[in-house]
Chains A and B, each alone.
Chain A
Amino acid sequence: MMKKGSFIRVLVSRWTVLLSVILIALFIIAAVFAPLLMPYDPLAMDLPNRLAAPSLKHLLGCDLMGRDIMSRIIYGARTSMLIAFVSIIIGGIAGTLLGLVAGYFGGVVDTVIMRLTDAMMAIPQIVLALGIGVALGRSTLNLMIAIGVSSVPAYIRMMRGQTVSTKNQMYVLSANVIGCSDSRVMYRHILPNSISPLIVTATINLGGAIMAEASLSYLGLGVPPEIPAWGTMVSDGFQYIETAPMLSVIPGLCIMLVVLAFNIFGDGLRDMLDPRVRGSL
């Protein structure tokens, strides 16, 4: 593993990565402490304040039902982050295990898993998530499962490739030679050596999951409509695009910033964890 010192050094030397980390931290804080940070109840309607312009009372104004946009944005962060993290855990664990098994044992197991992966890879991720989400019924948990499952093939491919190349490394052969069992070889040798690309994939996929959630919510097929979500907010604001464009612009900006932050952070991690690149930083 890399040392902590060099990690921080790299972080400071690349301001974009640093900025992305700060941004991610801010959104995570917003998500975790949403109830404390929200100035108003995000669901409380206040019709006199319909489409109110930004003011000191309502920093970002109010939406068509008079709900405080700032509060809804903060709650939206919570929705996005929760769904992204849980779905990444679901997809990451399932995909990593399947990829590990496929790559390590090869043969029929590999063929079966990989053809299944190919098939899932033939369907656009958003369509796959949409299909699974619809099949399971509309709820936040089911949405997490749907997004998680739709991201599984990416993990399988990555982990299988990683396993196949690690499996042929001499240190895996040497683990066999000293008498390690298959499960020990996978758990103690292959998995730890695949952790860096795994973290990178997961980080970039976090952005992907947020995007998928927002897109589904935009289409009206994401989180249940009563829960504030950025995608829903963009979609709701669409009708008032001529009079109150900010209704759509602000939540969309949040989505882009979070996804961008995760992508930049993921790229930065990849460079930091890649020994070839690390030396030159």
Chain B
Amino acid sequence: MDKTVLNVNKLQTEFRMRRYTVYAVNGVSYDIHPGEIVGVVGESGCGKSVSQMSTLRLVPSPPAHIAGNAVYEGKDLVDPSNAEYLRSVRGGKIAMIFQEPMTSLNPVMKVGEQISEAIRLHMKLGANEARARTIELMKKVRIPDAEERYESYPHEFSGGMCQRLMIAMAMSCDPDLLIADESTTALDVTIQAQILEMLRDVVRETQTALLIVTHNLGIVARYADKIYVMYAGSVVEYGRAADIFTAPSHAYTIGLLNSVPRLDDDKDRMLMPIEGFPPNLQSRPEGCAFSARCTQKLPECASCSEFPLKMVGDGHYSLCINDHLDRSQRRSDTLFEAKRIPDETLLEIRGLHREFPVKKGILFKKTVGKVHALNDVNLRIRRGETLGLVGESGCGKTTLARSILGLISPTSGEILYQGTDLTKLDKRKTREMRKDIQLIFQDPFASLDPRMSIGSIIGEPLVVHKLTSGKAEYLKRVEELFIMVGLDPSLRDRSPHELSGGQRQRVGIARALASEPRFLVCDEPVSALDVSVQAQILNLLERLQRELGLTYLFIAHDLSVVRHISDTIAVMYLGRIVEKGDWKTLCKNPMHPYTRALLSAVPIPDPEIERTRNIEAIKGDVPSVSRLPGGCSFHPRCPYASADCAAAVPELRETEPGHFVACPVADAIRGAKSQAGSAE
């Protein structure tokens, strides 16, 4: 394996804007061998995507200036004089797959033509042969009815299917290297698992090298042979996947591994976030770029100008000059004190339905069908607990959150909050109730009014509900809120865009807490944040819960996060709760095939564990809620489905105390699995 596919050497990319320069990539070197799967990990803004785009000169230039070289078959792709050669390589021999599959396809062109366009260009095939090859490729990436779908337009495909098309397009000319740039980030976990499994099979079969760029440590642990960790435009550590995870040798890598919640964690482990936030790259970092956030830095870290890559093991290199890194924090035993949850109901949802009518007609619209967003949802949340709600996009979890807040009125059913039915309240009472029930949003930036100062954003609930009398009291209360969420009160007059992602989410939390609510609905509160910041916010939420006696409904698609924070977990699929129970029983002993699939779709950032895991990938896309399959809505994707499953909707039944499952075959599956397990 001494032949390299691509050799990148001292790559530098700068964006020279009129008034400042962004040093996005600072001397990145790597090489890739045939058939190898390489992972590049790092948080947003670390330059991992820009460096890949730079090797193919896909960054707009100007303002970008690229230096260094990227050698493919003896020729430097970065050299502008090889532009013609680069064009023949790009899309032919080296292909890229991007994050947003929906916008990466031309909306007004048939998908088949978009794929065959590259084939005709690079393989010099005629129209018919190109068509045949396109259809073959579409079959290879498992697109059903490939011949007919050739004529379809991008908007007729789901996100996952579009990503398959992008992969087909990338594979169309037998590339030597495939670069997947956050290519599954926008997809649901089960779809993500499907795509990655398929991608791995395809590259293994064709001996194509694959470079996965991602922020997800679990994905690289599951798939990569070799890993490059990037921070602030540099590769800070690289080596074989197993070495990186068992013997991380850069303080940043260690910090990163400590900050992610894992499926195999101790439940009450306090996450160890990396404090602070990544540097902006408008100046070349003096010393080690990470030193400002590093807990293990040496005096010379901040001043040293040259950091040579140091060999720390066989093929394992690191930039860190601290030879005595403490890796023990990794299995941190710092635990939160256990919560005592009284058996007292705070919120109860009974038989909640929400249908959206599908209207048709030109002048006088008539209802022709219904979208069942919520279908007989029953939940009970005890005072002081965290109920985690997991499910993929379109499963109805956001509809549920908004129904509780009175933003959507349910079709039928009751939402009892301390005995009051929230669905029966008029507009004024609902507004009044929002003092008690608050929401934390997914995207902290989008949920803050860009025209308002941080102080007035946090203080707005006080004004709206007239909670303070007099300016002095108002200011005092706002300052309290700043301190409560760990924000510096001197930031009061800043605008949201001047803050980092983590700070913004703190603002969102402070605003939600302003009216002293007792119940918080957290709708994907950390999924838009970088992993190191995610840990800060999760810890903050846990601390606040204990200090203020809050009750949370925590909605997320990431089971490892939900498992980490929740006391009780409910799993939703297409508007129904399919399984619910105590976190421990549910995670140790998942009964519903969907829960099992979700759990196995989440990769654990540890290659040792990943190697032995049995991945239960489920087939197919999440069906549209407007055309729900009859019976158990999961049966078309379920590997264990029998004829009965299509006949009747399974009831939630209690299989062990506090553990409810809506699956008739759950027991049988578990029996079979445990037998198989013991046999091995």
A residues apposed to B, CB below 8 Å: 1, 13, 169-171, 173-181, 184, 189, 192-193, 279-281
The answer on a CB contact under 8 Å between A174 and B464 is: no
Q: How far is the CA of A66 from the CA of B449 in the complex (A)?
A: 60
Query: How many A-B pairs fall under 8 Å by CB?
Result: 65
Q: Taking A178-B515, A192-B451, A193-B449 as contacts, is the C-beta distance between A170 and B443 under 8 angstroms?
A: yes
Determine the chain B residues whose CB is within 8 A of the CB of A173 once the complex forms.
407, 441, 447
Do B450 and A176 touch across chains, with their CB atoms under 8 A apart? no
A178 touches B441 (CB 8 A): no
Interface on chain A toward B: helix, strand, loop, or mixed SS?
helix
Q: Please indicate the chain B residues that have their CB under 8 angstroms from the CB of A193 in the complex.
A: 449-451
In this complex, what residue of A is CB-closest to B405? A177
Report the Cα distance A176→B461, complex, angstroms: 10
Q: Is B17 an interface residue (CB 8 A)?
A: yes
Docked CA distance A281–B405 (Å): 43
Verify A171–B449 contact, CB threshold 8 A: yes
Beta-carbon contact of B446 and A179 below 8 Å: no
Bound together, the chains give a CA A175 to CA B464 distance in angstroms of: 10
Chain B facing A: main interface SS: loop
* Given A184-B464, A279-B17, A280-B63, A177:B438 Cβ within 8 A: yes
Interface contact B434-A177, CB-CB below 8 Å: yes
Pairs across A and B, CB under 8 Å, 27 listed: A13-B18, A170-B442, A170-B443, A171-B446, A171-B447, A171-B448, A173-B407, A174-B439, A174-B447, A174-B511, A176-B407, A177-B407, A177-B439, A178-B434, A178-B511, A178-B512, A178-B514, A178-B515, A179-B431, A179-B435, A181-B431, A189-B449, A192-B449, A193-B449, A193-B450, A193-B451, A279-B17
Is B348 in the interface zone, CB < 8 Å from A? Answer: no
Nearest to B446 among chain A residues (CB) is A170
- Known: A170-B441, A177-B434; 19 extra A-B contacts, CB below 8 A, are A169-B446, A170-B446, A171-B448, A171-B450, A173-B407, A175-B449, A177-B407, A178-B461, A178-B512, A179-B434, A179-B435, A179-B464, A179-B465, A180-B464, A181-B464, A184-B464, A193-B449, A279-B17, A280-B63
What is the bound-complex CA distance between A179 and B405, given in angstroms?
10
CB neighbours (8 Å) of A279 from chain B are 17
Which residues of the other chain, A, contact B431 by a CB distance below 8 angstroms?
179, 181
Q: A174: which B residues are within 8 A, CB to CB? A: 439, 441, 447-448, 508, 511
Number of interface residues of B (CB under 8 A): 30
CA distance A13 to B407 in the complex (A): 47
Report if B654 contacts A (CB, 8 A).
no
A281 and B449 form a contact (CB under 8 A): no
Q: Note all chain B residues with C-beta closer than 8 A to A178.
A: 434, 438, 460-461, 464, 511-512, 514-515
Residue of A13, A178, A192 with most chain B CB atoms under a 10 A cut-off: A178
B435 to chain A: which residues have CB within 8 Å?
A: 179
- Chain B residues with CB under 8 Å of A1's CB are 451
Shortest distance in angstroms between B464's beta carbon and chain A's nearest beta carbon? Answer: 5
Distance to closest chain B CB from A274 (angstroms): 13
Q: Are B447 and A179 in contact (CB under 8 A)?
A: no
With an 8 A cutoff between CB atoms, is B156 at the interface? no
Interface residues of B in 377-424 (CB under 8 A from A): 405, 407
Tell me if B432 counts as interface (CB < 8 A to partner A). yes
Of residues 333 through 353 on chain B, the ones whose CB sits less than 8 Å from some CB of chain A are none
| CB–CB A280/B446 < 8 A | no
CB neighbours (8 Å) of B432 from chain A are 179
Cβ contact within 8 Å between A179 and B461: yes
- Nearest A-chain residue to B445, judged by Cβ: A170
| Chain B: minimal CB distance from A8 (Å) | 14
Closest residue of chain A to B431, judged by CB?
A179
